[in-house]
Amino acid sequence: MDECHKVGDWYSVPDLRLRDHWFTVPLDYSSSGHTISVFAREVVAAGKEEQSLPYLLYLQGGPGFESPRPTEASGWLKKACEEYSVILLDQRGTGLSTPVTVSSLSQIPSADKQADYLKHFRADNIVKDAEFIRVNLGPDNRPWTVLGQSYGGFCAVTYLSFAPQGLKSALITGGLPPIGSGCTGEIVYRACFEQVLHQNEKYYKRFPRDIEAVHELVNHLAGMEGGGVPLPSGGILTPRGLQTLGLSGLGSSAGFERMHYLFERIWDPVLHPGAKKCISLKAFESWHSWDTNPLYALLHESIYCQGASSNWSAHRIICEHDSLFDAVKAAKEDRPVLFTGEMIFPWMFDEIHALKPFKEAAHFLAMKNDWSPLYDVDSLNNNQVPVSAAVYYEDMFVNFRLAMETAAEIAGLRPWVTNEFMHSGLRDGGSQVFDQLMGTVEQKLGGCSWLHSPWPVIEERKEAVSVILSPPTISRGAHMSDVPAE
């Protein structure tokens, strides 16, 4: 085995066989010297480990989150393993790939050096890692299929831009990025603002009693010395910190229910008459992964940057609507407190204990204006790789309109537009989503000519009825009737 690639023995979880791969790759592909380790887990259906199967690379959402850890054959993974050997890549800095953790990043002595290290952990280098792995995985280094979820879809579009020779086909779920030059973060936050408001409205319509429950919480937090209550981790929970529950609660399936049940049990019981009411704070902290995955907060806005700084885009946009998102003011005026969406704010590096040591590094990254290119529009306009993408109509994280603008720029991409699923469609309806996307690209691989047509014929799903409509169309789930007909 090559020194840059080590592989473990096969082992089992129910109905699957797995083995681990470690690759030694450059931190910076443009210079020699510092190397890091990148980890990938190979997964096949039980009994197929000796077969020569084509590879499918899975790119996880994020940035800054590792690939899933399979415990059984289920969902899209079970479906994919029928025909593929699946490679679950821990993107650099996550999982077992020289992870960026609070303790590991603290080993770098200064904020400017931390920022200089972190600049190598974006999609451009993730794609270079993927190509390194493809070439070194075995003697047969044929092009492979990539499946990108959310930020993994952003990485897939980077792959199509700069290394299409490594791809047989690409499947993208909830992950078509804005591909304009400069920093598109501001465009994204403006576009997503309306959907964040819509999700808040839907949440309180489903759980109207939570309006009063959240008011009580906000008033309690605002009335504490320092404007919040200390958290077990060492940070502080303020009203604006409470509003970040929307990141997980508003944009995925069952998020509404999870958030409601959190508020239902947020207060510790009062066992002695006259005792002060206290919040069950551990329940709040379990919602976020800042301590284990700080890379998400540190690099989130940089994923939108090409040759320009983000300059704290989300913070600037929300300040334009400050009175609307002022939780204390909303509680006083007896109107619903609005939760925020997928946004990282500079105050988080003051209030969240795990992020405090990296406040200065985060500012360096926010001000950095020489980010390398992530996309090549000319290459995408002339794409020859079959691409299929699930575009979720009510996606709070990846705006529908911006996603469709990008879809029109990638030659041959066929979008499947649906409101059956939220952003978490691959997790919630994995086999259905995978089948839909794979079936589309297989039409091209089988010889059907649609490469230069940006609009597909889409299947509309209504209960048990399927109808073929003229493009573009929306696949309407029976439980969501508020999507306008085309």
482 an active-site residue? no
Distance CA 95, CA 116 (A): 21
Nearby residues of 229 by Cβ (< 8 Å), 6 or more positions away: 220, 221, 236, 237, 279, 281
Q: Are 478 and 419 in contact, with CB atoms under 8 Å apart?
A: no
Q: Are 149 and 76 in contact, with CB atoms under 8 Å apart?
A: no
Q: At what angle do helices 359-367 and 111-118 cross, to 10 degrees?
A: 60
Q: Which of 310, 423, 424, 475 is an active site residue?
A: 423
Q: Following DSSP, what letter does each residue of 81-113 receive, concatenated?
A: TTT-EEEEE--TTSTTSS---HHHHTTS-SHHH
Give residue 3's identity as a one-letter amino acid code.
Answer: E
Q: Which of 9, 322, 370, 482 is an active site residue?
A: 370
Q: Which of 67, 85, 97, 150 is an active site residue?
A: 150
Q: In the chain, what is the straight-line distance between the N-terminal and C-terminal CA atoms, in Å?
A: 56
Distance CA 422, CA 291 (A): 26
Q: Following DSSP, what letter does each residue of 268-324 receive, concatenated?
A: PP--STTPPP-B-HHHHHTT--TTT-THHHHHTGGGGEESS--SSHHHHHHHTTTTT
| Both tokens assigned to 44 | 């096949």
150 an active-site residue? yes
Give CA 99 to chain center in angstroms: 17
Catalytic annotation, residues = 150, 370, 423
